[in-house]
Amino acid sequence: MQNIEFQDAWLTGLLPQTTGLAGPPWLDVLRLEAADRVNALHFPTMRDEDWRFSDFSLLRKTVFATVEGAASGLTAADIEHFVLPEAVASRLVFVDGVYAPQLSSTAALPQGVIAGNLMQELTAHDGAVRTHLARQAHFQSDVFAALNTSHIRDGALVLIAKDTVCPAPIHLLFIATGGDAPQAIYPRCLIVAGPGSNCTLVEDYVALGPGSYCTAAVTEITVEENASVQHTRLQREARSAFHIGYGAVVLKRDSVYRANSLTFGARLSRHDLRVVQNGEGARCTLNGLALMAGRQLADTHTVIDHAVPNGKSEQLHKCIVDDGAHAVFNGKIFVRKDAQHTDAAQQSRNLLLSSKGRVDAKPQLEIFADDVKCAHGATVSQLEADEMFYLNSRGLDANAARDLLIYAFAEDIIDRIPVASLKRRLSEELSSRILEHA
């Protein structure tokens, strides 16, 4: 890459230090553009409106090295706990951001479904990748999306052909090994669901070790006309890790996007999701759950942009905060002037289990059309005394009643996940987390 005079030494250290990254010339131009944007942007602080509730200064105090593409020595036994039986033949695995073909399984994918490593699929699918890559994720205004784009190399590419139904979920598994030295990892996902297609995706971030590392992920999804995508995103990073995710979704006419986002891990985490409805009749459902304890911080920012008429969106986001943890939810529904007959509803529900915990909820409506149906609301509460009393009167002691109420509050979101084995495992993990902090 060409030499650029950077303004921020910490950000400079995160940019690629090598030249000649693999890929066609247009991709290298894209990387250079992203590196230029890193130079023009700044590390977000609490003085920035979109970050005013979240202090990420601890991230800046850590020096991270970039993984240079070393081959993974992991075996199938090492990842057995994360494997989904429903996706045994439709799994892409990345270890510290590097594609691991020996752990992946795509040979049995049905005709019309392409799932593979971005760099390896470029030759055969250059047109589709060039059309969609970095088109939805606005790296011009987001420094972490720009960093990720400057590092594009390995990544998950999923292409669903027109009128194709993918019968099994596609599991995108990103594993952090948690080495001795802090490292930065840049996962990238590009998903294009063709007209009339249907697929289920599981985007899964997990850790094998407790080391300090930073995951800066970007996922772009295009849902073409009459297509349907069910997307489950799991963040189960190490408790000492940092996780910053950026998601961008574009919906065409009469398309459907259903998302479930669960945040359990990381010391500091942030997830930005922007859904743009560019076609009439598009529908999206966003469900979220953040389960925080100790000194964890989970910051969720979403934007649902109704750009055309007759769109519908539903959103339910829940946070459970214990100990001295901190949860942030900032959700915006944006209805443009021409987006008449929009139907949008948003709810933020938060459960505060400790006097030292903190929840900041900021639901927003920005409506510029006059014939719409929009509503939003937010609640922050503790366990209800009358519910505790009712369970106590039925023979449950205080701890058992508390655990049951917390479980029911969270299970409402987990139960919406469309993969049975994953739903079961997450319910077990939820129970374990609740008992851990009882």
Alpha-carbon distance 145 to 88, whole Å? Answer: 31
Per-residue pLDDT, averaged over 302-326, amounts to 97
pLDDT in the model for residue 70: 61
pLDDT band for position 18 (50/70/90)? low
Using alpha carbons only, how large is the chain's radius of gyration in Å? 21
How many whole angstroms from its chain centre is CA 145?
13
pLDDT in the model for residue 69: 63
- Number of C-alpha atoms within 13 angstroms, CB side, residue 46? 7
pLDDT in the model for residue 385: 83
- The beta-strand segments (E) located in 264-372 are 268-277, 283-292, 297-306, 312-321, 326-335, 343-352, 358-367
Question: Do 378 and 363 form a contact (C-beta atoms < 8 A)?
Answer: yes
Q: 360-396: string of b/e by CB count within 10 Å (b at 16+)?
A: bbebeeebebeebebebebebeeeeeeebeebeeeeb
pLDDT in the model for residue 437: 65
pLDDT in the model for residue 233: 98
The yes-or-no verdict on residue 435 having pLDDT over 90 is no
The yes-or-no verdict on residue 6 having pLDDT over 50 is no
What is the average pLDDT value for the chain, to the nearest integer? 92
pLDDT in the model for residue 394: 84
Alpha-carbon distance 14 to 178, whole Å? Answer: 18
Per-residue pLDDT, averaged over 239-259, amounts to 97
The pTM assigned to this predicted structure is 0.94
pLDDT band for position 29 (50/70/90)? very high
Greater confidence, 372 or 2? Answer: 372
pLDDT in the model for residue 396: 86
What residue type is assigned to position 332 of the chain? K
Per-residue pLDDT, averaged over 47-64, amounts to 92
Q: State what percent of residues in the chain have pLDDT above 90.
A: 81
Alpha-carbon distance 305 to 312, whole Å? Answer: 11
The yes-or-no verdict on residue 2 having pLDDT over 50 is no
- The beta-strand segments (E) located in 181-324 are 183-185, 188-193, 198-207, 213-223, 228-236, 242-251, 256-263, 268-277, 283-292, 297-306, 312-321
Classify residue 147 by burial, with Cβ atoms within 10 Å: 0-12, 13-18, 19+. Answer: buried
For the chain, the first-to-last Cα distance in angstroms comes to: 52
Alpha-carbon distance 83 to 172, whole Å? Answer: 10
Per-residue pLDDT, averaged over 88-103, amounts to 94
Question: What are the pLDDT digits (tens) for 351-396?
Answer: 999 999 999 999 999 999 999 999 999 999 888 888 888 788 888 8
Question: Do 137 and 248 form a contact (C-beta atoms < 8 A)?
Answer: yes
pLDDT in the model for residue 299: 97
How many whole angstroms from its chain centre is CA 349?
19
Residue with tokens 């020096």: 63
